[in-house]
Amino acid sequence: MQRSSSSVKGLNQPEPGSTIESSFFRDGFDLEIAEASRHFRGASFPIECVDLGTSELVSPPRYSVPIDYLLASLHTQSNRIESQFEAGIGIHAYQVKSMALPPIKTVGVIGTGVIGASWTALFLAKGLKVIVTDPAPGAEARLRDQLLKHWPSIPNAKVTQDEYLNNFKFVEEIDAYLGDVDLIQENGPERLDFKRSLFAHLDANTPEHVLIASSSSGLPSSEFITECNKNPARILIGHPFNPPHLVPLVEVVPHQGTGDAYVTAALQFYRSLGKDPVLVKKETPGFIANRLQAAVCAEAYSLVSRGIVSAEDLDKTMTSGLGLRWALTGPIMTNTLGGGGNFNHFMDHLGPALKTWLDDMHRHEFDLNSQDVDILKERVNEWTSQANLEEIEQSRNKRLVDLIKSKSEDSV
């Protein structure tokens, strides 16, 4: 058997009968052999995964994977794994050691509207190079204005303002640069037809190990990867919260065929920017944060429209109570602390009351198609038409920056 040692990058197809050795990376936690085999899904290249140490088969017999995906997967892992493939016959063996993830240095940004400009600001402030495109007339000038505006508020910038303003290249057409990027963050319009054809194009023209994340706030990626034939396993949602250069949350939402290696790489990438990503394990409309927001808002609308509380006092229950705590400990930890450090106690103690409240809420569920909407609008406008909205927004933004800076001080 001929043996060749090779770097993974750029390798497309193993020679029949040859064995390839490669290494890959993943940090933070151990990769179990059985878990490793889960990374290799798809169909096209038959392999069997064997633990070199024990000679045991650790994958289903004749497990099939697209070899390019497999190699890309190897490339983005963070444990060192020595692997051997015998093409056609397919033997794959692993050893696991810890090593560091290869860094993402250059990001491609597609679309520089509200979200794309804010992502660009964050990427640049964290020392990344950015290649950015948007076909709208005047988009480059608007991006420069946004970058200047965002600079003072970005927590923990790693570069000078000069570097921040000069480390990006605005291009009319990104195709010629797709070979230079290590990750793409897409921020185009939220339209299925648009994302479907854009992703087909990006998938076909970007090296297959490059992770492609969409900022989509509602469209699950399974709906727009339908024409991606090269490597849809590297596509997922990286849904930020506006503005992404400030709010730490990113919802990482893989589709069913997204490779675990890419999910891990996305989580690591966002963490490296000081973000607080969460993994949404299954696609669900609204992902997580917007569902929680919808649940709270639906009850708020119900209470205000029923005249139980004024719109102003409704907001106060959040800003002077629930919201204050929730910025520091989420609902689950808040319940646990409320149960004297014991979630079970909280559930057993307050569960019956909670059930009564929930039953009543279901009885009074807010109907978005009823006249209650007009009543709600009238009651909200009574209050907000008297308020100085500009002042409120400025004060909110300033305090938000202070809060985020204070929360991120220890974490970056």
Ligand X SMILES: NC(=O)c1ccc[n+]([C@@H]2O[C@H](COP(=O)([O-])OP(=O)(O)OC[C@H]3O[C@@H](n4cnc5c(N)ncnc54)[C@H](O)[C@@H]3O)[C@@H](O)[C@H]2O)c1
Q: Which residues are catalytic?
A: 251
4 binds ligand X (CB under 6 A): no
CB closer to ligand X, 26 vs 195? 195
**Is residue 120 part of the contact set for ligand X (CB under 6 A)?**
no
* b/e sequence 303-321, b meaning 16+ C-beta within 10 Å: bbbeeeeebeebbeeeeee
CB of 324 to ligand X, least distance (A): 23
Look at strands 91-94 and 45-51 and give their pairing: parallel
What 3-state DSSP class applies to 259?
A: coil
Out of 116, 232, 274, 277, the only residue in the binding site for ligand X (CB under 6 A) is: 116
Asked whether position 290 contacts ligand X by CB under 6 A, the answer is no
Site for ligand X in 235-274 (CB under 6 A): 239-240, 242
Torsion of CA 86, 91, 97, 103, to 10 degrees: 50
**Rule CB under 6 A: is residue 217 a binding residue for ligand X?**
yes
Minimum CB distance to ligand X, residue 240 (Å)? 5
* Residues whose CB is less than 8 angstroms from the CB of residue 92 and which lie 6 or more positions away in sequence, other chains included: 40, 47, 48, 49, 50, 59, 83, 84, 85
Q: Does 143 bind ligand X (CB under 6 A)?
A: no
Candidates 110, 213, 250, 263; binder of ligand X (CB under 6 A) is 110
Q: Classify the phi-psi angles of 17: left when phi > 0, otherwise alpha if psi is within -120 to 50, otherwise beta.
A: left
Stretch that binds ligand X, among 184-192, 265-273, 287-295, 352-360 (CB under 6 A): 184-192
How many binding residues for ligand X (CB under 6 A)?
A: 22
- Does position 135 bind ligand X by CB under 6 A? yes
Based on the shown chain and the rule CB under 6 A, indicate whether residue 185 belongs to the binding site for ligand X.
no
AA identity, residue 21: E
Q: Which of 76, 112, 206, 221 binds ligand X (CB under 6 A)?
A: 112
Sign of CA dihedral 301, 307, 310, 314: negative
Strands (DSSP E) contained in 319-373 are none
**314 and 304 in contact (C-beta within 8 Å)?**
yes
Nearer Cβ to ligand X, position 157 or 237? 237
How far is residue 75's CA from residue 81's CA, in Å, rounded to a whole number? 10
Which residue's CB is nearer to ligand X, number 91 or number 171? Answer: 171
Nearer to ligand X, 64 or 217 (CB): 217
Site of interaction with ligand X (CB under 6 A): 110-116, 133-136, 139, 187-190, 215-217, 239-240, 242
